[in-house]
Structure formats: structure tokens, C-alpha cells
Structure 1
Amino acid sequence: MAGQPNTRERLVSAAFELFEERGYEAASVDEIAARARVGRTTAFRQFGSKEALIFPDHEALLRRADERLSTVPAEALPAEVIAVATSVFEHYLAEGDRARTRYRLTRSVPALRDFETAVVSRYARLFTKHLRAAQTGDWTADLRAELFANAVVAAHNHVLRRWLRGDVPNPRSDLAEALAATWPIYRGGGGRTAVVVMSTDEPIESLTPRIRGLISD
């Protein structure tokens, strides 16, 4: 019948309902499959794990992002990376309450938090891969590509988390502002010096002259 949810959507809906009702650990794949009116084997064939039911679209989103970035010229890649991040953000906005349920679950279930971290890192690696492939400069160009890729992901996730918590009345404008702030990283900071401070066992007295030298170069 037209308009009926397919097997995949029934499984996802059943999983979210049961996780909310009983908690993630208490809800079994057998129960999810039964509520979705499919067999246990079908559930595993569709998703492979209980964690994957919480992130049902991430493989498709990553695949589309990879395909999209593969088709644009090198000079357009930075803008396209930002466009991809924006499209992923729109996907979460469209999910609405389901995205908020996922956020609550990932905050309370360590296995889901780890799964989410792995998903996020794949976006950073994907963006870096395409940006680096387009570089022809020295090693600093590769560095800027990696920093930019991670900055775009961080900006996206920062605004997304604020929206999920209900802290953002205008998520799209906040995202645009956050992503705009990543541009100087790729462009080399517009001629300004960027200083990255990392923890070290070296005494501060020996580091200070070197930091001053870097800033004055």
C-alpha cells in the first residue's frame, strides 16, 4: 500500500520507541524486530548492530558526501566541504524529535557515544582526504587542509549540539556564522599568525623565547 513505511524505516522507528520506553540496554534486537514485524535476521541484515539503528543514515550520508566531493574542481573543494556540512546539518534538522532522542541516548549510553565519535571522525577523514588530494603546495597546505576539515566538523557539531539542547533559536544562521569562521584556517589566516599551544613537560622558561620568536617571524 502506498505511503506505508518500508522495512528499514519500521525497524528504526521500533528501535527509537523501545529505547525511549525501556532504555537502550534493556531493549533487545529480537524485541525491535518483533515490533517492526520482521525477523531477527532481517534486522541484522539491514543494520548489522543495535548501535547502527540509532544512526541509520550515516553510511548513505557519507557515501553521498564522498561522491559529491569527488566531482568538484580543486579550487571549489573548500566551499563544497562547507556545503556538505550544511546539507548534513539540514538532515538532522529534518529529523527533528528523532535527532533529539538520539542526542539523549548518546549522552547516557557509552557504546552509543563511542559509535557517534567514530561517525564524526569519518567525516573529518573524508574531508581531509579530498582537500589534501587537491593540494599542490608545501607541507603547510596539507596541514591547513587537515585543520580546516576538522574545524568544519567541529563547527557543525557545536551548533548541532546547541540546537539539540534547545539553545539555538536560529540554527541555520548560527551554522553559517560558525562555518564562516573556519575559512581563515584554509586561507592561511589572512596573513595573521596562528599559535597552537600544546601541553608539554618542557619548562615554560625555555618555551617562552621560542614562542616569542615564532610570533615575531
Structure 2
Amino acid sequence: MSVRERLSQAAFELFAERGFDETTVDDITARAGTGRTTFFRAFGSKEEVVFPDHDSLLASVQARLDAAAPGGEAVALAEAARLVLLHYLAEGDLARTRYVLTRRVPALRAREIAGQRQYQRVFLAFARQWYGEGSRADLHAELLADAVVTAHNHVLRQWLRGRTDTPESDFDEAMAEVLRIFGSGSDSTAGIVVLRTGRDLDDVLPGLRRLLD
């Protein structure tokens, strides 16, 4: 385990035991067996321990959108949003602990919302390029960007709250619905959506049939 990982583990243990506001940087370094200088080399602040990978994840989303081929915008959008979900799923209990913290600590909740707005702006810039110019296109681009973030957050919350054990398939269905409504890249709201998945076709077809009914 790296020093950064030790500090993160110590911090989340203490946040759970004592609360975020009651835990100091000195408490975290003492639990991790490091010093303050080491802490601030790894993290800029106590808050950054809670959201350590935001910038790199946002960069990955931007990179996937930048790599979209002409005609492949819907796929790029779905895959970029999926990167965020997969990151949180890979965190497991850490993501659930963060969820509890952000609901209890207003400053963390505000930072989380600010982070979501950054994703929204990235998706909006991409959607505007896809839709082209015009007031109607600009409206559709904003609706699409909002819908992508909302669909992702809905699925993630369901998983964090223990209400689903199939978040990836839930996400595929949610994004298919978003792209069905907003993802044509034109004034028409009908389009063809292609989503990549490693699941068996028999598992995917029921959800697709429900969307087409």
C-alpha cells in the first residue's frame, strides 16, 4: 500500500469514527504513521482526501469525448459517462462512505455539486459541437448534458443506497433512454443508439424491448 493509500484509508476510518469536522490532519497522519509534510505532498487539503481522483477522472471523460469519431458521438457520450460510474463501482465501500459524508457535511456536499457541474460543462461543450449552431440546437445540447448527469447520478445513488445490484445494466438502460430522447444531434429526437457491453445478449434484450414499447 502506497503512502497516499495509507493516508486515504486512515482518513476515511477517522471520518467514520469521529466525523469529518472533528478529524484533523494531525489525526490522519498519526493514524497513517506519517507527518504533515507527507500529507500535504499527497493531498492539498482534508477535503481533497474525500475527492482524490476528480481531476484525473474528468480528464479521462474529456479524452474519450475528444476521441469521438464522426457519427460516433452517441457512443462516445455513453462511454464517457460510463467511465465515471465504473470508477465509483470500483471504489466499493469507499464510494459508499463518501456518499454518507457528503450528506452530513455541507462543505463536502457543495464541493460534490461543483464537481458535477464540471462534468455537466464538459458534456455540454461536446453536445454543442455535435448539435451545431442555432437556439434550438443549443437548448437540446443543454437538455442532453443535464440528462446525462442526471441519469448517471440516479443509477449511482440507487447502487450506493443498496437498491440495485445491477448498476451497469441499469446505466445502459438509462443512457439508452437519454440518447433516444436527446441524442440524435438534430431537431429530431429519434435516433439509433449503440452501446457497448460485455453482457450476454439475452440479458440486454429485455431492457431494450422495454425502451422500444
Cα distance, 1:128 vs structure 2: 0.9
Q: Structure 1 residue 88 and structure 2 residue 88: aligned?
A: no
Contact 2:8 2:49 in 1 (8 A): yes
Matches within 5 A, 1:1-217: 5-183=1-179, 184-187=181-184, 188-190=188-190
Q: List per-residue Cα deviations over 1:40-59 (Å, max 9, x = no partner).
A: 13322322121111111111
Ranges in structure 1 where 5+ consecutive residues have no aligned partner? 192-217
The structural deviation recorded for 1:74 is: 4.3
For residues 74 and 135 of structure 1, the distance between their equivalents in structure 2, rounded to whole angstroms, comes to 12
Mapped to 2, the partners of 1:174 and 1:134 lie a distance apart of: 25
Contact 2:61 2:83 in 1 (8 A): no
Aligned partners of 1:74 and 1:134 also within 8 Å: no
Q: What does the per-residue CA deviation read over 1:87-106, in whole Å, with 9 as the maximum and x for residues that have no partner? A: 21111111111111111111
Equivalent-residue separation in structure 1 for 2:183 and 2:137 (angstroms): 8
CA deviation string 1:69-127 (max 9, x = no partner): 11223432232121111121111111111111111111111111111111111111111
Secondary structure of 1:189 counterpart: coil
Q: How many Å separate the matches in 1 of 2:172 and 2:46?
A: 34
Alpha carbons 1:155, 1:179 under 8 Å: kept: yes
- The more displaced of 8-17 and 66-75 is 66-75
**Residues 36 and 45 from structure 1, CA distance in 2 versus in 1: closer, same or farther, beyond 3 angstroms?**
same
Q: How far off its partner does 1:37 sit?
A: 2.6
CA contact (8 A) 1:14 1:32 kept: yes
TM-score scaled by length of structure 2? 0.81
Segments of 5+ residues of structure 2 without an aligned counterpart are 192-213
Residues 1:145 and 1:74: Cα distance change in structure 2 (over 3 Å): farther
Q: Would you say the 8 A contact 2:102–2:112 is kept in 1?
A: yes
Aligned partner letter, 2:121: R
Shift of 1:64: 1.3
What amino acid maps onto 2:116 in structure 1? V
**Structure of larger gyration radius:** 1
CA RMSD between the two structures: 1.7
Residue 123 of structure 1 contacts residue 153 of structure 1 at CA under 8 Å; is this kept in 2?
A: yes
Aligned positions, number: 187
**% same residue:** 50
